[in-house]
């Protein structure tokens, strides 16, 4: 499997326009198997739990990003929020029979998750297991989500139950995404690096570790791959790459866009203060005030733009508490700027 495809899944959501839409599903429709039971949450969710679920889905775990269709201007279509995207990844745009990976309808509709029990929904997004025993494709980052707290997983399910149902039956994906590969195992929680023992604001850094590592979106994109698997011994050291053409970027961008080294090393974010990380996430600006390149999902148009100041600050403490690791990012994505000039070498 081409490793660029892995990142394309993440990349595509940020740039809706770059994600080609495949053919509408034909008669060959993979109907969701009928649930044996539909077990609603035993206790009614509190407003706080629903808000937590909405916040995680929209701004931290980035579920909405991959699962929501966009309008022509790249913003989410509010009428189709979380209703799934056909051909979210197209690894073979020239061939209508090949290369499309679809995301799924997560809304409270029979063509979405309405007839799935809470347990079935959690098994899908935390373990990659479908009720029919088949695995989800690992482009769905269940190997990372599996480390979130049960209470957060429950909040996500509770929120999904409240998402207005959208009728949208999504057909099967195409080869090479079918049949789905064997399930991948959960990222071992112990491999998510701990804050340095002498870091002064350790409690904040530990909260940040949970948001950036256990919930998984930052860890997924900012960890390099080895043989297609996240190389967790180099967690947060950056260097995962995205092909410019798959991001739909103009030719003055380099051919490959790399994720940044988020450790406080000179080849990473040693020159950042916590407030700079907050600005990077909420406003999409790097240390020098330049716009961060796609597919970093930050800033006003990106879902991370809605992360709270407090959470962004905790993430900043966590990143700055990591052991500094050297990893030279080979190319700066900004047109006309070299990676070396950026890091002051």
With binding defined as CB under 6 A, does residue 286 bind ligand HEC?
A: yes
Cα–Cα distance, 32 to 24 (Å, whole number)? 17
Per CB under 6 A, the list member of 18, 19, 100, 121 interacting with ligand HEC is 121
Here the tokens at position 285 are: 């600006």
Query: Is the separation of the CB atoms in 62 and 297 below 8 Å?
Result: yes
With binding defined as CB under 6 A, does residue 156 bind ligand HEC?
A: yes
Cα–Cα distance, 266 to 263 (Å, whole number)? 9
Give the gyration radius of the chain's Cα atoms: 20
With binding defined as CB under 6 A, does residue 297 bind ligand HEC?
A: yes
Taking the least distance from each CB to ligand HEC, the nearer of 68 and 78 is: 68
Per CB under 6 A, the list member of 52, 54, 104, 244 interacting with ligand HEC is 104
Per CB under 6 A, the list member of 19, 155, 204, 315 interacting with ligand HEC is 315
Binding track over 202-241 against ligand HEC, x by CB under 6 A: ----------x----xx--xx-------------------
Q: Is 25 exposed, middle or buried (0-12, 13-18, 19+ CB in 10 A)?
A: middle
Cα–Cα distance, 5 to 21 (Å, whole number)? 16
Per CB under 6 A, the list member of 292, 320, 322, 325 interacting with ligand HEC is 292
Per CB under 6 A, the list member of 293, 320, 322, 325 interacting with ligand HEC is 293
Single out the segment in contact with ligand HEC by CB under 6 A; choices: 91-99, 102-110, 196-204, 245-253: 102-110
Total residues at interface with ligand HEC (CB under 6 A): 52
Here the tokens at position 96 are: 């209508």
With binding defined as CB under 6 A, does residue 49 bind ligand HEC?
A: no
Cα–Cα distance, 315 to 219 (Å, whole number)? 12
End-to-end CA separation in angstroms for the chain: 36
Residue with tokens 């989500």: 145
- How distant is the alpha carbon of residue 343 from its chain centre? 27
- Any residues with CB less than 8 A from the CB of 254 and at least 6 apart, and which? 244, 331, 332, 333, 335
Q: Whose CA is closest to 13, among 307, 295, 305?
A: 295
With binding defined as CB under 6 A, does residue 155 bind ligand HEC?
A: no
* List of residues contacting ligand HEC (CB under 6 A): 9-11, 32, 57, 61-63, 65-67, 88, 101, 103-104, 106, 121, 124-125, 130, 136-137, 139-141, 145, 156, 173, 180, 212, 217-218, 221-222, 257, 259-260, 262, 269, 277, 280-281, 286-287, 292-293, 295-297, 304, 315, 333
């Amino acid at each position: 499997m081409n490793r660029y495809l892995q990142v394309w899944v993440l990349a595509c959501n940020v740039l809706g326009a770059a994600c080609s839409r495949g053919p509408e599903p034909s008669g060959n429709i993979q109907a969701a198997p009928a649930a044996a039971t539909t077990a609603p949450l035993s206790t009614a969710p509190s407003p706080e739990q629903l808000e937590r679920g909405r916040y995680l889905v929209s701004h931290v775990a980035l579920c909405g990003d991959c699962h929501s269709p966009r309008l022509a201007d790249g913003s989410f279509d509010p009428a189709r929020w979380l209703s799934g995207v056909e051909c979210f990844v197209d690894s073979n745009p020239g061939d209508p029979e090949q290369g499309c990976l679809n995301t799924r309808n997560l809304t409270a509709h029979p063509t979405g998750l309405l007839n799935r029990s809470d347990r079935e929904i959690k098994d899908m997004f935390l373990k990659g297991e479908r009720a029919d025993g088949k695995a989800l494709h690992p482009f769905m980052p269940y190997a990372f989500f599996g480390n979130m707290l049960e209470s957060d997983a429950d909040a996500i399910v509770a929120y999904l139950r409240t998402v207005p149902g959208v009728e949208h039956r999504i057909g099967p994906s195409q080869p090479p995404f079918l049949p789905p590969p064997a399930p991948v195992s959960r990222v071992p929680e112990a491999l998510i690096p701990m804050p340095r023992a002498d870091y002064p604001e350790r409690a904040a850094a530990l909260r940040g570790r949970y948001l950036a590592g256990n919930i998984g979106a930052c860890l997924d994109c900012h960890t390099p791959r080895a043989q297609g698997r996240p190389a967790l011994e180099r967690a947060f050291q950056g260097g995962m790459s995205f092909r410019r053409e798959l991001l739909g970027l103009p030719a003055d961008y380099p051919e490959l866009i790399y994720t940044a080294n988020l450790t406080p090393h000179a080849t990473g974010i040693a020159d950042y203060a916590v407030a700079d990380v907050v600005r990077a996430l909420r406003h999409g600006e790097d240390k020098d005030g330049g716009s961060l390149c796609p597919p970093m999902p930050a800033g006003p148009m990106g879902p991370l733009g809605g992360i709270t100041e407090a959470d962004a600050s905790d993430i900043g403490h966590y990143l700055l508490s990591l052991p500094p690791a050297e990893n030279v990012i080979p190319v700066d994505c900004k047109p006309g700027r070299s990676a070396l000039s950026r890091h002051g070498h």
